[in-house]
Amino acid sequence: MEPLSKVTGATPIGSLYPIVSTTYGSVKDVRSARFGSKYFFHLLPNEATICSLLLCSRNDTAWEELKLTCQTAMHVLQLTIKEPWVLLGGGCVETHLAAYIRHKVHNEAEAIVRDDGCSQAELHIATEAFCSALESAAVSLEHDGGEILIDMKYGHFWSCPADSASVGNWPDTLSRCGCGLYNSQEELSWSVLRSTYHPFAPQTCLPQAASGSVSNLTVDSFTAKLSGLQVAVETANLILDLSYVIEDKN
């Protein structure tokens, strides 16, 4: 209904009586179009600022998934146009943030518990749970069974192919980090994600020379990423308040 309203300028109504003239819309032309075995009405709007995107798939289930993916992508694009701020994508923000939080808690645990009124043990448990959740979001981007690494300088996400060589050959095996900003030839050291390593402060600066030399960066919408993080935290708080979780095994 919403796309139809945008194309025609019509207003949805809740009842057939009464119908006022301001609820009607208009189009420049209506044509019949056939794609495969299906027929469609093609509405041509009065303004040439609307494009039609036709999605095709082998079955209805795959078509619904493709439709949802495109709707999500368009929504994120609209958010980015409205608020043109982006974050480095490809899992790098999640691993960088997890490394920073661990470093912060490791060095300022006493000050944090003094202000919040919890014990250091509780603080470390909560920190590890939150950081593990962030890293899980990054790990979900790996679909080929490869090893997930984190560099000890920037805290970025790196994917190592499943049939890669030994640890000593990581610089030759790896290409670029998840977002594409850094390459493996920058004198970096790596550790397997979720392995035991000493907390470190990841560098947060973004050198102009580095960003200018990269032609293709993977980025995420700041608004969408922030909204997703807020929803995740609110959901976790709700679960803690309820003190139990209902699991659907169907």
pLDDT of amino acid 230: 92
pLDDT of amino acid 166: 55
How remote is the C-alpha of 211 from its chain's centroid? 21
| Residue 167 per-residue DSSP state | G
pLDDT in tens, 176-212: 899 888 888 778 888 888 888 888 989 876 655 455 5
163 confidence band (pLDDT: 50, 70, 90): confident
pLDDT of amino acid 92: 93
164 confidence band (pLDDT: 50, 70, 90): low
DSSP string covering the chain: -HHHHHHH-----S-SSS--GGG----SEEEEEEETTEEEEEEE-SSTT--------SSHHHHHHHHHHHHHHHHHHHHHHHS--EEETTTHHHHHHHHHHHHHHHHHHHHHHHHH---HHHHHHHHHHHHHHHHHHHHTT--S-PEEEEETTT--EEEE-TT---GGGHHHH--B-TTSS-BTTSS--EEETTS------------HHHHHT-S---EEEHHHHHHHHHHHHHHHHHHHHH--------
User: Which residue in the block uniquely carries the two structure tokens 């939150």?
Assistant: 130
| pTM for this predicted structure | 0.71
Domain layout of the chain by residue ranges = 1-54, 55-84, 88-242
CB 130 within 8 A of CB 138: no
Share of the chain above pLDDT 90, in %: 19
Share of the chain above pLDDT 70, in %: 89
Region 90-102: mean pLDDT is: 93
94 confidence band (pLDDT: 50, 70, 90): very high
Look at 29-38, 43-52, 99-108, 118-127 and tell me which has the smallest mean pLDDT: 43-52
